[in-house]
Structure 1
Amino acid sequence: MGLLATLRSKQTKSAIGVMVTASHNPEEDNGVKLIDPMGEMITPAWEDYATQLANAEQEALCTALKDIIERETINMSEKASVFIGRDTRPSSKSLSMAVMDGVSSLEGNSLDYGLVTTPQLHFMVRCCNTQGCYGTATTQGYYEKLSKAFIELTKHGKNRTDVKKRLMVDGANGIGALKLKEMEPFLQSELQVKLFNDGSSGKLNYLCGADYVKVQQKPPQGMKIGPDERCCSFDGDADRVVYYYSDSAGCFHLLDGDKIATLISTYLKDLLTQAGLNLQVAVVQTAYANGSSTQYLENVMKVTVCCTKTGVKHLHHAAQEFDIGVYFEANGHGTVLFSKNAMEQIQQLAKDQSANGEKKHAAKLLEGTVNLINQATGDAISDMLLIEAVLAIRGMTVQEWDAIYTDLPNRQLKVKVADRRVIETTDAERRATTPEGLQDSIDALVKKFKQARAFVRPSGTEDVVRVYAEADTQESVDSLAHQVSLAVHRLAGGVGEEPKPLQ
C-alpha cells in the first residue's frame, strides 16, 4: 500500500494518506485506509488496484505495479508525498514502517504523523492539498480550528450550564482517547469530559467502543451510568460516535447515527430559514436507517431524504450532490458536506453589514458550524463537539433530543451460507433479485406484521447474509427477523442447522 499510495500521489500530483488501522475490529486485526487528495476515500478503480497488489505473489509484484503505471499513464519522474498515520494496535508501528519502505522504494517522500486518529490524517491530507485553506496540517492546527469554532458556537447557547455538565466519553481504549486528552486544554473548560476506557489498561474495542454499544444495546464495560447522564462512545480509530443514556428506571437509550443526522439536519434547516438562505438540506441514509427517522425527516421536517447502498463511500458521494448533504450510517459514522456555493452564500451573509440582526446571527452560527465539521470524513471528535454545540444552542437535554421521534423496534441477524454471491440486490440493497423466490417470501412475511419492513444483503467480507427487520413491537420484529432468516437459509444455501427462534 506504500507503493500504491506513491503511484497515486505521482498521478494526482497531490499528497496521499495511508492510515494503519482496523477501526472497530478486534485489536489483533489490522489493515490500511487509503486517503485521496481532498481527504476522501480512495476511488473505486484504485480500490481494485489495491486488491490486485495485496493478492499479487512476490515475483508478480513488479508486473502488477507496471500494469498500474501503464493503465494510468503515470509519469514516474513526478514527486510523490505520502502522509502516514497509525492507531494504537501493537502491530501498527511495524506496519507503518512497511508503508514507509514502500514509499521510499519508489523514491517518494513520506511524512510520518505517528499516532493520530483516522479523521485527523484525512484532515492533514486535505489541508496540505488545499494550500492551508482548510486549516493547518498539524494536530495542533486540527485542535485549534475545531476548539475555536466550538467555543464561538457555545457562546450562543440558550442553556450554557447544560453543556458545562459532564459528558462521559468511552474512548474504546484507542487512539481517540489519547487525542481527546490532548485536545482538552484547547477547549478551555467549555466542555467537561470524563474519559473511560482511555487505553491505560483495557484492550482496544474489547467490551467497549461504538460498535459494541450499538450492537449490544448496553453501556461499555467500566462505565457506570447514573440516571440521565450524557454519554458517548468512539470506535478504535475515532471515526464513529454514538450517544446514549440511562433513564431513572435504569432503561438504556441509544442515540445512533439516525438520531445524530436528524438533530444536525433539523438544526441546519432552522438556521437556513432564519438566515433567509435558499439552500437545500438533504439527509443521505442506507437501508439500515430506522423507518421512524425517515418518516420524521420527510413528513414532519420536510427534509429531502435519499437512500444509497451501505458503505461510507456511497453516502459521501451522494451527499456531494446537494447544497448541504448530511450523512450518517446507523453505526455513527458520518459528517456534513457543504457545497462551494453554500459556503460562499453563508460567508457573504455573515460579512454583510446591511443584513438584519436575526439573519446575520443565523449566518454566523452557520459559519461556525462549517468550521467545526470535518468535511473530509466522519470524525468522532468533531461530531461529538458539533452535537454538544447544537444541544447548547437549542437548550436541549439528551432526553429531549431522544424524544424527537421514537425508533421502531428492529433486529439484525446473520445467516451463514455456502456462497454469499448467490444474493444479489437492487433499490439501494432494499430488495433481493436473486435467488428466485426469496424477495417474494420476504414480501409475504412483511405483510403479516404492522409497520414492518425487512431486507437482506450479502456481507462484503464473509459468507454470511445480513438480515434486517423492523416492526411495531419487539416481539413482532424478532418473529419477522427469524422467519426471514429461515427463508434465506432455505433459498440461499444456508450452512449448518436452521436459525433458531430468538429468545
Structure 2
Amino acid sequence: MGREFFGTDGIRGRANGRKLNASTAMKVGQAAGRHFLRGDHKHRVVIGKDTRLSGYMMENALVAGFTSVGMDVIMTGPLPTPAVALLTREMRADIGVMISASHNPYDDNGIKLFGPDGFKLSDADEEAIEAAMREEQTLAEGDHIGRARRIEDARGRYIHAVKQSLPEDVRLDGLRIVVDCAHGAAYQVAPTAIWELGAEVIAMGVAPNGLNINDGVGSTHLEAIQKRVVDEGADLGIALDGDADRLIVIDEKGRAVDGDQIMALIGSRWAKDGRLKGGGVVATVMSNLGLERFLQGKGLELVRTKVGDRYVLGAMKSGGYNVGGEQSGHMILLDHATTGDGTVAALQVLAALVRSGKPASEVLHLFDPVPQLLKNVRYESGDPLENNLVKDAIATAKGELGGSGRLVIRKSGTEPLIRVMAEGDDAGEVERVVDSICDAVKAAV
C-alpha cells in the first residue's frame, strides 16, 4: 500500500484539513510510540514546535497519543528543528518530534520524526509507523500511562551547543548582523546566540503571533532583509526559515547568497583546513552546475542525490562526508548537527568572514552560477510524466542541451506539482527547453 501520510520530509498538509488534524497527530503519537517501545527502560519522547497557531492543537494531540501508549513526554515549546534533534539524543529519548511546516504559510503544519540517534527516521521506520496508524493500537494499562512535562531550559541548551560550533579563535566583535527569524522557531535562540558571540545583532521577524510565520520575511521572502542590510549598513544578513533548518545569506550590498555558494565556501574552507571528509560535498540534483565546476577546480567532487535533505544525509553517512546541503539553504554539517541547522551554518560563514578580513561580497561569491531556470506546473490527478507528449518533449530538450547542460524533471514531494529545471551555458536555450516541457505538461493535464 502506498504512503498516505509521510512525504519527503515527514507529514505535511493543511492544518485541520483531511490529512493533518488532531486525530492524525494522535495516531502518529500512538503508532510511533508503540514502534519505539523497545527494551525495559522508561521510554520518553521530546516534542518541539515552531510558532504556528495550530501547533498548540498538534502538540496536545501528540502528547495524548504518546502518553496513551506509555511514553513520557518532554515538551520544549518553540525551538528549531535541529534543537529537537539535539535534545532527543542528549536526553536519551527514544524519539523526537518537531511540529512544523518549515517555510510554508501558517495555515499548513507538519510532523517530523527523529530517532534516538537524532537523525530523521529511515523509510522503513516511517513505513512501519504509517502501517500502524491504520490499525488499533494497544493502550497502556492505567498505571503505565505516560507523564508529560515542559522543560524551561531547552533554549539555553541549544544556544550553548550552537556557540560551541564556532571555532574558539573566532570572535564576532565589531560585526553588524541582521538576523531574520521569519517569526518562527528561532526567534529567541538565533539572535541570542550570535549576540553572545560578540556581534551587534539587528533582529527582525522576531514577533510571532501564530499567523505571521514566513509572512513576508525569512529565507523565502528576502526583500525585507535585503533592504534592511543595506539601510543599516550591516556586514551580513542571515535569513532563516520557519523551523530554522534553512539559511540564505545576504551580503553587505543586499545580494542573496544561496545554499550552493554557502556549500562552496564551507566545503573549500574545510578542505583547506584539513577538516573536510570524503573528499567532496553532497548536494541534490537541483544544485547549480557552477558549484560542481568550482569544486572540481579545487580537486573536490560533488555527489548528487534526489531532492530532499534526508537523501543528502543518507549519502553523507554512507560515503563518509561531513558537508552537504541543498540550493534552497538546508546545510548539514555532521561535525556539529544531525540535521540541517541554519544557525550553525551561519556561524561557519561568519568564521570565514572574520578570518578573511574581507567584505561578504568578496568572500561569499565564489563562482558564477550557470544559467538555471525552474518552473512548476500544477496538475490535479494522474501522472503527467507518463504522457507520451511529455516524454517526447523531454527527449527533445535533452538533445538540445547536449552534454553542456542538465535537465531535471520531477514531481514535488509535498504538492501536486511537476517541477521542470534546466541549466546550461546558453540562457536563451535553457528558457526554451523549460517552456517547451511546461507547455507539454499543461497540454497533458
* 1:305 counterpart (302, 306, 325): 302
SS in 1 for 2:333: strand
* 2:47 counterpart (67, 84, 95): 84
Q: Is the 8 A contact 2:162 2:343 kept in 1?
A: no
User: Letter of the aligned partner of 1:126 in structure 2?
Assistant: R
| Distance in 2 of aligned mates of 1:20 and 1:280 | 28
* 2:168 counterpart (123, 130, 152): 152
* 1:197 counterpart (202, 205, 228): 205
Q: CA deviation at 1:333?
A: 0.7
Query: Given the superposition, is the C-alpha separation of residues 130 and 113 from structure 1 closer, same or farther in structure 2, using an over 3 Å criterion?
Result: closer
Q: Is the 8 A contact 1:20 1:96 kept in 2?
A: no
Q: CA deviation at 1:212?
A: 2.6
* 1:443 counterpart (394, 398, 405): 398
* 1:271 counterpart (249, 270, 273): 273
Q: CA deviation at 1:471?
A: 3.2
Q: Who is 2:89 aligned against?
A: 126
Indicate whether 1:401 and 2:407 are aligned: no
Indicate whether 1:333 and 2:330 are aligned: yes
Q: CA deviation at 1:331?
A: 0.7
Q: CA deviation at 1:176?
A: 1.3
Q: Who is 1:416 aligned against?
A: 378
Indicate whether 1:208 and 2:212 are aligned: no
SS in 2 for 1:79: coil
Stretch of structure 1 that moved more, 196-205 or 465-474: 196-205
* 1:243 counterpart (231, 249, 252): 249
Q: CA deviation at 1:254?
A: 2.1
Q: CA deviation at 1:261?
A: 0.8
* 1:225 counterpart (225, 230, 238): 230
Q: Is the 8 A contact 1:238 1:380 kept in 2?
A: yes
| Distance in 2 of aligned mates of 1:473 and 1:125 | 48
User: Letter of the aligned partner of 2:162 in structure 1?
Assistant: L
User: Letter of the aligned partner of 2:88 in structure 1?
Assistant: V
Q: Is the 8 A contact 1:468 1:481 kept in 2?
A: yes
| Distance in 2 of aligned mates of 1:101 and 1:141 | 26
Q: Who is 1:287 aligned against?
A: 285
Q: Who is 1:478 aligned against?
A: 431
Q: Is the 8 A contact 1:417 1:465 kept in 2?
A: yes
Query: Given the superposition, is the C-alpha separation of residues 66 and 93 from structure 1 closer, same or farther in structure 2, using an over 3 Å criterion?
Result: closer
CA-to-aligned-CA distance 1:156-187 (integer Å, 9 cap, x gap) = xxxx7xx6221112111112122224435632
Q: Is the 8 A contact 1:422 1:434 kept in 2?
A: no
SS in 1 for 2:299: coil
Q: CA deviation at 1:125?
A: 0.8
Query: Given the superposition, is the C-alpha separation of residues 104 and 181 from structure 1 closer, same or farther in structure 2, using an over 3 Å criterion?
Result: same
Q: CA deviation at 1:148?
A: 4.2
SS in 2 for 1:381: helix
| Distance in 2 of aligned mates of 1:79 and 1:200 | 35
SS in 2 for 1:150: coil
CA-to-aligned-CA distance 1:263-283 (integer Å, 9 cap, x gap) = 11111111118xxx9x53321
Query: Given the superposition, is the C-alpha separation of residues 293 and 222 from structure 1 closer, same or farther in structure 2, using an over 3 Å criterion?
Result: closer
User: Letter of the aligned partner of 2:177 in structure 1?
Assistant: L
| Distance in 1 of aligned mates of 2:341 and 2:251 | 21
Q: Who is 2:107 aligned against?
A: none
User: Letter of the aligned partner of 2:158 in structure 1?
Assistant: Y
* 2:57 counterpart (63, 83, 94): 94
Normalising by the residue count of structure 1, what TM-score does the alignment of the two structures yield? 0.65
SS in 1 for 2:283: strand
CA-to-aligned-CA distance 1:379-433 (integer Å, 9 cap, x gap) = 1111111211122223343111233211122221111234363437xxxxxxx99
* 1:458 counterpart (387, 394, 411): 411
User: Letter of the aligned partner of 1:87 in structure 2?
Assistant: D
User: Letter of the aligned partner of 2:66 in structure 1?
Assistant: V
User: Letter of the aligned partner of 1:286 in structure 2?
Assistant: T
CA-to-aligned-CA distance 1:141-164 (integer Å, 9 cap, x gap) = 322233244261415xxxx7xx62
CA-to-aligned-CA distance 1:281-324 (integer Å, 9 cap, x gap) = 321111110110111112x1111221111111110010112343
Q: Is the 8 A contact 1:281 1:323 kept in 2?
A: no
| Distance in 2 of aligned mates of 1:483 and 1:101 | 51
Q: Is the 8 A contact 1:175 1:236 kept in 2?
A: yes
Q: CA deviation at 1:21?
A: 10
Stretch of structure 1 that moved more, 96-105 or 433-442: 433-442
Query: Given the superposition, is the C-alpha separation of residues 246 and 389 from structure 1 closer, same or farther in structure 2, using an over 3 Å criterion?
Result: closer
Q: Is the 8 A contact 1:241 1:384 kept in 2?
A: yes
Q: Who is 2:184 aligned against?
A: 174
Query: Given the superposition, is the C-alpha separation of residues 387 and 67 from structure 1 closer, same or farther in structure 2, using an over 3 Å criterion?
Result: closer
CA-to-aligned-CA distance 1:4-47 (integer Å, 9 cap, x gap) = xxxxxxxxxxxxxxx9997xx9xx7589xxxxxxxxxxxxxxxx
| Distance in 2 of aligned mates of 1:138 and 1:65 | 24
Query: Given the superposition, is the C-alpha separation of residues 231 and 74 from structure 1 closer, same or farther in structure 2, using an over 3 Å criterion?
Result: closer
SS in 1 for 2:91: helix
Query: Given the superposition, is the C-alpha separation of residues 144 and 480 from structure 1 closer, same or farther in structure 2, using an over 3 Å criterion?
Result: same
User: Letter of the aligned partner of 1:461 in structure 2?
Assistant: T
Q: Who is 1:358 aligned against?
A: none
| Distance in 2 of aligned mates of 1:322 and 1:212 | 34
Q: Is the 8 A contact 2:393 2:436 kept in 1?
A: no
Describe how 1:323-402 pairs up with structure 2 within 5 A: 323-337=320-334, 370=335, 373=336, 375-402=337-364
SS in 2 for 1:210: coil
Query: Given the superposition, is the C-alpha separation of residues 83 and 255 from structure 1 closer, same or farther in structure 2, using an over 3 Å criterion?
Result: same
- Count of residue correspondences: 378
Q: CA deviation at 1:329?
A: 0.6
Q: Is the 8 A contact 1:21 1:87 kept in 2?
A: no
- The structure with more helix, counted as a fraction of residues: 1
Query: Given the superposition, is the C-alpha separation of residues 484 and 113 from structure 1 closer, same or farther in structure 2, using an over 3 Å criterion?
Result: same
Indicate whether 1:488 and 2:445 are aligned: no
| Distance in 1 of aligned mates of 2:376 and 2:284 | 18
Normalising by the residue count of structure 2, what TM-score does the alignment of the two structures yield? 0.73
Q: Is the 8 A contact 1:420 1:458 kept in 2?
A: no
SS in 1 for 2:347: helix
| Distance in 1 of aligned mates of 2:317 and 2:416 | 32
| Distance in 2 of aligned mates of 1:322 and 1:186 | 35
